[in-house]
């Protein structure tokens, strides 16, 4: 019997690779006759490009840049020298996880550090940037990235604005494109289909996660609308809101004003890059999982897309997740993890213990 183990990350506790190897070790020990293979999956969320670079065996480039508040931080990205392509996660430099328990400051947080990573790749000769949009701490329309790549922003007095300055977006009065702006194209990977504006837009849906209060929604949206108008007017382009522009605080939106930018939904891109369908055909059983499978999962998240792929080839699929949300009944079996108390220092160890205990009591290769 062949079992493919392809979990997504269990956010906050285990990476996709870690959980996959834990499951594999359990199966190898208890079911010695079973063949297993671990192929972690991602969908554009936090760490997607890092995982892709690892699986594809790309060169790892380490760079010291700036975090969302402008402080030095060591980062890395994947570099495909032959294809002249860099794989960069927004979360590496500009991720909300970098802030820990600090007070969120959405009117200060900038994607400038991600722009520095991109600039480093461009200096190596990159012609394409694969940009994973998950896990960002910013709602800055990618203005920070643009500033790092040669777009200059001025206030009403003609003074150049400095990234990480408070209320940066609201101070933008003029936009100037440097003659040294690189010729590079972007493939932006995301795991959500939200537009930037609207009831399901970036600010009302994702803004609170990044510190924007409900009573600030209309103000922040008006500021963004003004900046977007200036960006597209500068390039003599017409702005049209698109599915995916709501991801990562509008980064793909801002990039699209100045660069060739394509939004790709991360699951399909990831699956194609690692040839996941071939592995599914090999398997008799597929095991997947994520921190919490919920109503958003069916909008392109990795576990749901893997469910469709498994059913396409008439393969059984097991889901490991917490909670009992709608949609889990579509899997052939669901193993439900107990909720964790994240205030406890040993919550990560508890998550591993919970996983192993449930595998021991509920898993069988034949479902």
Same domain as 213, residue 345:
no
Longest Cα–Cα distance in the chain: 74
Q: How does pLDDT run across 169-197, given as a tens digit for each residue?
A: 999 999 999 888 999 999 999 988 999 99
Please, where are the H alpha helices in the chain? 16-30, 48-56, 90-94, 112-124, 143-148, 168-171, 202-206, 217-234, 251-258, 266-274, 276-282, 302-312, 347-362
The gap from C-alpha 128 to its chain's centroid, in whole angstroms, comes to 18
- We report the CATH number of the domain holding residue 19 as 3.40.50.10350
Same domain as 349, residue 243:
no
Q: How does pLDDT run across 285-301, given as a tens digit for each residue?
A: 999 999 988 777 777 78
Same domain as 293, residue 203:
no
Averaged over 112-126, what is the pLDDT? 98
The answer as to whether 42 is a domain residue is no
pLDDT-based confidence at 351, cuts 50/70/90?
very high
The answer as to whether 325 is a domain residue is no
Q: How does pLDDT run across 18-66, given as a tens digit for each residue?
A: 999 999 999 999 999 999 999 999 999 889 999 999 999 999 999 999 9
Same domain as 176, residue 316:
no
How many domains, in total, are found in the chain? Answer: 2
In the numeric block, which tokens belong to residue 129?
């940037």
Same domain as 292, residue 169:
no
Distance CA 253, CA 240 (A): 9
Q: Is the pLDDT of residue 5 over 80?
A: yes
Distance CA 234, CA 221 (A): 20
Same domain as 191, residue 287:
no
Which residue range is the domain that position 305 belongs to? 2-32+275-320+331-362
Q: Is the pLDDT of residue 236 over 90?
A: yes
Q: Which domain-ending residue is among 223, 242, 267?
A: 267
Which residues face 319 on adjacent strands? 288, 334
- We report the CATH number of the domain holding residue 85 as 3.90.1510.10
Averaged over 130-148, what is the pLDDT? 97
Same domain as 237, residue 155:
yes
Lowest-pLDDT choice from 50-64, 257-271, 338-352: 338-352
The answer as to whether 93 is a domain residue is yes
Same domain as 170, residue 92:
yes
pLDDT given for residue 347 in this prediction: 86
Distance CA 17, CA 9 (A): 8
Same domain as 306, residue 352:
yes
């Amino acid at each position: 019997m062949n079992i493919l183990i392809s979990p997504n990350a269990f956010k906050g506790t285990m990476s996709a690779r870690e959980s996959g190897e834990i499951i594999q070790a359990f199966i190898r020990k208890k079911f010695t006759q079973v063949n297993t293979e671990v192929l972690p999956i991602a969908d554009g969320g936090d760490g997607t490009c890092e995982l892709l670079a690892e699986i594809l065996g790309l060169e790892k480039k380490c760079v010291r840049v700036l975090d969302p508040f402008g402080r030095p931080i060591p980062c890395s990205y994947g570099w495909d020298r032959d294809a002249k392509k860099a794989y960069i996660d927004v979360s590496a430099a500009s991720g909300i996880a970098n802030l820990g328990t600090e007070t969120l400051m959405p009117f200060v947080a900038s994607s400038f550090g991600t722009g520095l990573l991109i600039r480093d790749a461009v200096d190596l000769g990159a012609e394409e940037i694969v940009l994973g949009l998950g896990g960002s701490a910013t709602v800055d329309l990618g203005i920070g990235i643009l500033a790092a790549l040669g777009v200059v922003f001025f206030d009403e007095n003609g003074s150049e604005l400095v990234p990480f300055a408070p209320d940066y977006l609201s101070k933008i009065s003029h936009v100037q494109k440097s003659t040294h702006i690189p010729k590079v194209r972007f493939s932006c990977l995301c795991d959500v289909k939200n537009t930037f504006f609207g009831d399901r837009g970036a600010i009302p849906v994702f803004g609170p996660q990044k510190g924007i209060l409900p009573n600030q929604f209309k103000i922040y949206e008006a500021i963004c609308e003004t900046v977007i108008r200036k960006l597209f007017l500068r390039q003599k382009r017409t702005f049209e809101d698109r599915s995916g522009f709501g991801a990562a605080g509008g980064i793909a939106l801002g990039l699209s004003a100045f660069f060739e930018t394509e939004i790709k939904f991360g699951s399909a891109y990831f699956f194609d890059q690692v040839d996941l369908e071939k592995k599914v055909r090999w398997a008799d059983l597929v095991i997947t999982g994520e921190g919490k499978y919920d109503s958003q999962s069916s909008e392109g998240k990795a576990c749901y897309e893997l469910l469709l792929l498994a059913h396409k080839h008439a393969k059984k699929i097991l889901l490991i997740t917490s909670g009992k949300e709608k949609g889990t009944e579509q899997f052939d079996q669901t193993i439900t993890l107990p909720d964790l108390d994240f205030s406890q220092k040993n919550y990560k160890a508890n998550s591993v213990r919970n996983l192993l205990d449930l595998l021991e009591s509920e898993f069988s290769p034949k479902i």
